[in-house]
Structure 1
């Protein structure tokens, strides 16, 4: 009977675990829809800023903004975007594996790296491996806050403008769909000449007869106060938009991955409960059969 009691206790424990994972799955599904809406809501703004900035840069080829300056790379900054919480499958594992691979590549090339962490998981890994962590922002919540993000990123941007580093890269999870999130390593600065979208570049380019992909713009603007001031401010807003969009993509990926992981955990718990109930019934049946045999044997002996 002790075996039956242990199995019954284990079944109850797995059932309680399944209730928790099922609740977390439903919460993640609700947050996922909101995160995807925020992610998609930010795309039109980023698209329009990119179109205007690209056209202004073409209209003023003589003016070279510091954000567009290509340099001989001796030191780089790396912005690692991760989640604050776990239980989201291999999302953080995949992005940190990519980050560690890039760190090894930079080390082999003799390039110094300074890091910024957005998210608790990334900050923990970078601290454990002894990376040069110059800034961090954790406990981001479920909605990206641009003021908090720029506060952490500004350290890297100022170092780039002052010449301390020669490029800035972002490591984030790009949202593809509910079942797929791609770990991506994106160059934030210097900006590419055509200001291609790192998340959806194919949507803003056209392909000519020779198969060459080129960005096309055909606008003119009246500047106030002057074109240089407008370009400077616009490129700053564009960089901020890229950072915001990267965090929004990662948050949408987090909730999608957590929903899938919790659904898998709930399904596995259901399977374990079924197996334990089968063992419980067999054990209980064997115990009853044994008791009946003992009663019949006793009666026969009398």
Structure 2
């Protein structure tokens, strides 16, 4: 059995750990509020952009746009959006797990796969595959639209240059504070946005665009790609703080359980020490008789 001093030292150490995890939980909760507000305020903009793209692409000739070119898929590029920091449970691991599953699927079909990692954790977990073409690290803590524009420009150049025939984004989708799930969406070629099946019918008509639909689409498509990347980064930003808040709360609860168990061990050890001392005293008294 461990000595009283050793058990007491362990209890003090676990209590200090609990203080750290509780503080990290509070910091994550404060950051989550800002990240969630930012994400939710951007969602209406994304929805309106999708509506505009849906209306334009519905009547446009998709063959006239290089970014909408459908071709035989031989090379696939996966954009993996994760966090820069850890201590957020299995959030990043679940995204990487989906990435590995997609890599196996595409390679079994005879396609080559390359990766673009946005976030340090994705790079650390996937660099051993040898498929990482480019990494954007240390940007998820304070990213802006120009970061999304840089990533989208690189992906577009790769697609137009024939280095990739299909590009998909894998990221963490924020559903609630307690639930963040890996999600995947198509990036290139740009797909005509379809209306939701259960969406209420909208009043529509035949619109005349000035300049032409093709000219408008040429301008909107790059902006649309920027929006898609930025939206994925916002989702991951909110997911990271929510996952870390949950993980730190679980860690604090685990520390309390460990302290309770160590306290029982400490009390048993102390009682055993007291009993031994009493036995020594009684034995010495009996010996003097």
Q: Which TM-score applies when normalising by structure 1?
A: 0.88
Please give the alpha-carbon distance, in whole angstroms, between the structure 2 residues aligned to 1:62 and 1:291.
90
Q: CA deviation at 1:97?
A: 1.0
Corresponding position: 1:258 with 2:244: yes
Q: Structure 1: how far apart are the matches of 2:60 and 2:184?
A: 30
Alignment match, 2:37: 37
> Retained in 1: the 8 A contact 2:4–2:270?
yes
In the alignment, the residues of structure 1 paired with residue 130 and residue 200 of structure 2 have an alpha-carbon distance, to the nearest angstrom, of 42
Partner secondary structure for residue 184 of structure 1? strand
Cα 1:36–1:217, aligned 2, differ >3 Å: closer, same or farther?
A: farther
The CA deviation string for residues 196-254 of structure 1, in whole angstroms up to 9 with x for no partner, is: 4xxxxxxx6244xxxxx898572666645443222111122111111111111111111
1:105 maps to: 105
Map of 1:164 onto structure 2: 163
Secondary structure of the 1:171 match is strand
- Mapped partners of 2:112, 2:272: distance in 1: 68
CA contact (8 A) 2:75 2:112 kept: yes
Structure 1: stretches of 5+ with no match in the other structure = 197-203, 208-212
Q: Which residue does 2:215 correspond to in 1?
A: 229
**Aligned ranges for residues 200-279 of structure 1 at < 5 Å?**
205-207=196-198, 218=204, 223-279=209-265
SS at match of 2:3: helix
Aligned to 1:117: 117
After superposition, where does 1:62-73 map in structure 2 within 5 Å?
64-73=64-73
Relative to structure 1, is the Cα distance of residues 96 and 217 closer, same or farther in structure 2, using a 3 angstrom cutoff? farther
Q: How does 1:182-201 map to 2 (within 5 A)?
A: 182-193=181-192, 195-196=193-194
Supply the distance in 1 between the matched residues of 2:180 and 2:107 (Cα, whole angstroms).
Answer: 27
Change (3 A) 1:110 1:216: farther
**3-state secondary structure, aligned to 1:186:** strand
The counterpart of 2:268, out of the listed 282, 285, 291, is 282
The answer to whether the 8 A contact 2:116-2:134 is kept is yes
CA gap of 1:45–1:220, structure 2 versus 1, over 3 A, is farther
CA contact (8 A) 2:83 2:140 kept: no
Residue 139 in 1 paired to residue 138 in 2?
yes
SS in 1 for 2:171: strand
Q: 1:162 to 1:90 in 2, by over 3 A?
A: same
Distance 1:45 1:72 in 2: 33
CA contact (8 A) 2:172 2:235 kept: yes
Distance 2:158 2:231 in 1: 22
| Mapped partners of 1:264, 1:41: distance in 2 | 30
Is the CA contact 2:140–2:237 (under 8 Å) kept in the aligned structure 1?
no
For the residues of structure 2 that align with 1:214 and 1:158, how far apart are their CA atoms? 38
Q: 267-276 or 43-52, which moves further after superposition?
A: 43-52
Per-residue CA deviations over 1:166-189 (Å, capped at 9, x if unaligned) read 110111011111111111122111
CA RMSD of aligned residues (A): 2.2
Contact persistence 2:49–2:224 (CA under 8 A) = yes
285-294 vs 148-157, greater mean Cα deviation: 148-157
For the 8 Å contact 2:119–2:140, the answer to whether it is kept is no
Alignment: residue pair count: 288
Contact 1:135 1:152 in 2 (8 A): no
Structure 2 unaligned blocks of 5 or more: none
State how far apart, in whole Å, the 1-side matches of 2:203 and 2:63 are.
Answer: 18
CA distance in 2, matches of 1:172, 1:277: 43
